[in-house]
Amino acid sequence: MKLFSLSVLAALSAVLPHVAVAKTVRDYTGGVALATEGGLPGGPCLTIRGAVTAPGFFDGLKRRETTRGIEFRRGTDVVRFFPEELSVRIFIREFPCHIGLTEVSPLLATPEVMSSLRFDGFWKRGLAMRPVETLTLWRFFQRKEQPTTLVGVPVTIRLDTWVYDLTVFSKGVPLTDHLILEIFGKDGRRLARVSVRL
């Protein structure tokens, strides 16, 4: 009886090679979120949030861990590659690196500083990394926020949000590759690094 059961399991494995492991399905409808923190040299810390999107591409896209490894599907279709281009929107806000400040230091995230940030991109596969063929910052703007009160600071302060819209060329890149984005200051110092993985 035991031998029969093993034979049945082997036969099912041959017929159904892509059976998903339980509780390993991820849905990417709406895109992929990104988040990290960084900081300006000698200045405040930065909170960095954003999303990677592409028109219609991530809608219904699901990641499954199967008996043969990671598989991406949209409905019954297997999806292996990113679309030709990805849109990346990044939101950056400054905040004090230490809680309990008794006074407010001058804001360093000025339009001049924030407009000078530079972005680089890489595709990571295992330990190997290769540059993104084309990464374009096509829009940058300052979003005004309402004044807020920080912990330990006796006055309100307005910390605006800085918005960056980028386009990443991604044609032919497997969905199993990770997108690495790096942010540099005007002096070439790296301020932050974030990995986007499906």
CATH of the domain at 171: 2.60.40
Radius of gyration of the CA atoms of the chain, in A: 22
- Average pLDDT of 27-41? 92
**Lowest-confidence range among 1-10, 81-90, 132-141, 176-185?**
1-10
Residue 15 lies in a domain: no
Range of the domain at 134: 30-55+80-196
Residue 18 lies in a domain: no
94 neighbors 158 (Cβ within 8 angstroms): no
pTM, to two decimals: 0.81
165 neighbors 87 (Cβ within 8 angstroms): yes
Residue 17 lies in a domain: no
Residue 10 lies in a domain: no
Strands 161-169 and 135-143: antiparallel
Residue with tokens 């940030």: 117
